[in-house]
Amino acid sequence: MSNVLVLVGIFVLAAFLIVLGLGLSRRAQRQGPAEDRPDATGIASTTPATRARPRLRDRLAKTRATLAGPLQALRIRGRVDGETWDDLEEALLLADVGVATTGRLLDELRANALQLAASEPAQVIELLKAQLVAELDGDTDRSLTRADAGPTVWMFVGVNGVGKTTAIAKLAQREAGDGHTVVLAAADTFRAAAAEQLAHWGDRVGAAVVRGQEGADPGSVVFDAISAAQARGADLVLVDTAGRVHTKVNLMNELEKLRRVAERGPGVLTEVLLVIDATTGQNGLAQARQFADAVDVTGVVLTKLDGSAKGGIVLAIEAELGIPVKVVGVGESADDVVPFDPVEFVDALFA
């Protein structure tokens, strides 16, 4: 009897170990290679040589489903009728394009479809695609501008949690990889963790990090960082700013003050980049409006497009605020940053 119990015990233990082993290996597969996982700083490291630049199309898999799903359902319908337009409107609204932009796009699309006698849903969808590309791909300058002389300064603004620090880290790695000497300014002196995260990243890419005591004047951190860059011959200063202070008015005043410090020299402020979390949809647009009213925003860094973002927010930001999306974040790894390419983006949404 006791032998039977021992055998049963061994069997149960072996089954437990097998199940545990399978679980761990699946988890490791889901998380990808060890070096790609975020560490305590929230930023994953990668070996540049082993990772190619991410493709927007691959990373937008979840985002794509919002628009491509309903469009596919439309495509297999026989003809264009009143329902087609209702469904198109619903698809665009669900994709976060926003009421005003959706209305305008559909008015234009109707006129185009009529003019070209497009009678099949597939034709109308192709017209919509071309219209979105034309809308985004005009003569918008999406480059990150640099100064001719003196250190270039790019300031990053946005509410906490949108991915500001991560975006700075990713761009620092990219710029350092391209041969630039980067200084990071930890001007969010309200959150010790933000400065820690930036300091950690600075170590990794070999960028000097200038930080102050918790509660120190953010303006002095920016000034010190630009002076340090000038002294070391560094050509790029990336400024992380607070996403929250006591009140919204205080925050906007603080950012405006920082912008003036950054403009005073010896550096040249060429970009004020608003970081928006794409998964927050129309909320992100409301945030963008507040920041754009307070500081002269030159471009948007749209993060988390790899997540459950609906994608249409890109159109809403550009159409309603007139601010170009310049860079997009498509993951938590250090390499997960790509310049925004409208054609690739629209292709990815419709694929």
Interface positions with ligand GDP (CB under 6 A): 38, 42, 158, 160-166, 194, 243, 303-304, 306-307, 329-332, 336
| Dihedral over Cα of 82, 83, 87, 88: its sign | negative
Give the shortest CB-325-to-ligand GDP separation in angstroms. 13
CA-to-CA distance for 271 and 238, rounded, in angstroms?
10
Give the shortest CB-306-to-ligand GDP separation in angstroms. 5
Q: Which is nearer to ligand GDP, 306 or 318 (CB)?
A: 306
Give the shortest CB-118-to-ligand GDP separation in angstroms. 37
Q: Which is nearer to ligand GDP, 240 or 318 (CB)?
A: 240
Q: Which is nearer to ligand GDP, 109 or 305 (CB)?
A: 305
Amino acid at 344: E
Q: Which is nearer to ligand GDP, 121 or 299 (CB)?
A: 299
Do 151 and 239 touch, CB atoms closer than 8 A?
no
Backbone angles phi, psi at 44, to 5 degrees: -85, 145
Give the shortest CB-196-to-ligand GDP separation in angstroms. 11
Give the shortest CB-238-to-ligand GDP separation in angstroms. 12
Give the shortest CB-331-to-ligand GDP separation in angstroms. 5
Q: Which is nearer to ligand GDP, 127 or 167 (CB)?
A: 167
Residue whose C-beta lies closest to ligand GDP: 329
Q: Which is nearer to ligand GDP, 262 or 327 (CB)?
A: 327
Q: Which is nearer to ligand GDP, 54 or 151 (CB)?
A: 54
CA-to-CA distance for 180 and 262, rounded, in angstroms?
19
Give the shortest CB-17-to-ligand GDP separation in angstroms. 33
